[in-house]
Amino acid sequence: MKIAVCLKQVPTRDWQPRLNDSRTWVREQDATFEMNEPDAYALEEGLRLKEKHGGDVIVCSAGPARVAQVLREALARGADRAIHVESDALSGADAFVVGGALAAAMAGEQFDLVLTGLQSDDQGFGQTGVIIAEKLGLPHATIVMEVQVAAPNVRVKRELEGGWFQWVGMPLPAVLTIQSGINQLRYATLKGIMAAKKKEIRVVKPSAVPAAKLAIASLYVPEKTKKTQLIDGAPAAAAKELVRRLREEARVI
So where are the chain's domains? 2-204
Per-residue pLDDT, 220: 84
Of 169, 175, 181, 120, the closest CA to residue 145 belongs to: 181
The superfamily in CATH containing domain 2-204 is: HUPs (3.40.50.620)
What pTM was computed for the model? 0.85
Of 39, 15, 19, the closest CA to residue 27 belongs to: 19
Per-residue pLDDT, 229: 84
Of 7, 56, 24, 16, the closest CA to residue 220 belongs to: 24
DSSP 33-64: EEE-HHHHHHHHHHHHHHHHH--EEEEEEEES
Of 174, 178, 100, the closest CA to residue 139 belongs to: 174
Which H or E element spans position 130?
Answer: helix 128-136
Q: Which residues contact 167 (CB under 8 A, 6 or more apart)?
A: 155, 156, 157, 158
Per-residue pLDDT, 85: 97
Tens place of pLDDT per residue across the chain (253 aa)? 999 999 999 999 888 888 888 888 888 888 899 999 999 999 999 999 999 999 999 999 999 999 999 999 999 999 999 999 999 999 888 999 999 999 999 998 999 999 999 999 998 989 999 999 999 999 999 999 999 999 999 999 999 988 899 999 999 999 999 999 999 999 999 999 999 999 999 999 998 888 888 888 888 877 788 788 889 999 999 999 999 998 998 888 8
SS3 126: coil
Which H or E element spans position 113?
Answer: strand 113-117
